Amino acid sequence: MQYQKLPQIDEDVSKICLGTMTWGQQNTESEAHEQMDMALSEGVNFWDTAEMYPSPPDKDKQGDTERFMGTWFNKTKQRDKVVLASKISPMGFLRDGQTRFNAEQISGAIDDNLKRLQTDYIDIYQLHWPERQTNFFSQLGYTEEMASQPLDDLTPFLETIQALNDEIKKGRIRAYGLSNDTAWGLMRYLWEADKNGLIPPLTVQNPYSLLNRLYEINMAEIAHRENVGLLAYSPLGFGVLSGKYLDGKRPTGARLTMYDRFARYTNEEAISATEQYAKIAADTGLDMAQMALAFVNSRSFVTSNIIGATTLEQLKSNIDSVNLTLSADVLEAIEAVHTQHPNPSP
């Protein structure tokens, strides 16, 4: 395993991060425990979850993913071996759809996170997506309607930062990060923190894959210059970049077979790009999923690559991608496809 130091918390985190959002929908509690056992044994010490998981969101199952992790921590007594990330989520069925990133709601959410996780601290606490209306979750353009939302209707950035800094002082979280945010949002948090002598966000969790490299356009420079690491999610595009859905296949139990709502990575342009990436892998004797993950692993602005799996075989193969270094020829071929099909799955 490869590791990178997170400066604020002085921890080495694995280049591969264990994603958990299928636990409670596609994976049982015992299967989740098996995944945690394997991940830790393979050196994956960085795990990510959220209060709204599992995904797809389900009011009756909300929080089950954290509960599964909590029972594992209680059983194994190995919480200290894991760098744990979780989130507060502005999901409609949480807090009656009125989530605000203020001190009261952040504190209440962390109360519940900690109870489900059976721990007394979270290493990185993330804002799952912005409170404000902006272009995330496949919304490529910033619209006039989004721009018309007054900032006065939202929790002030400084109030949110102060609330998170207070939680750090209490020892209930060690650092905080953003997720599904924009360059403007990230820079606003950084500016407000610097202006007021407060601890800034440490990470940002946004999508990044061969089918969505939008992070490179304006966020990557911030990552380098402001020392805010990317936690890349959906590096396989819901499994599309494993090649298992090519030629219209829908394997039993696979995510896109079970949930047709996830069409982000299966539009015509994305399918065409995926076919070409599959050809690169076949021509060079590479496992397609490992090739896609190795590309993400290789980016200098990526702190950790969040993988998800429903079977132990998938999990082991995904973890092993950290040992794959793509040749210059493969990288050149990937760039050629990207030039022809730039970011088909925003």
What are the E-state strand segments in 73-121?
83-88
Provide the 3-class DSSP secondary structure of residue 275.
helix
Catalytic residue among 3, 53, 121, 208: 53
Q: Which residue shows structure tokens 């060690």?
A: 174
Structure tokens at 339: 């030039």
- Enumerate residues 6+ apart whose C-beta is below 8 A from 120: 114, 171, 172
Distance, CA of 60 to CA of 99 (rounded, Å): 19
For 175, counting Cβ atoms within 10 Å of its Cβ (0-12 exposed, 13-18 middle, 19+ buried), the class is: buried
Distance, CA of 157 to CA of 7 (rounded, Å): 23
Distance, CA of 116 to CA of 61 (rounded, Å): 13
245 counts as catalytic: no
Structure tokens at 334: 């990937």
Structure tokens at 117: 């996780």
The catalytic residues are 53
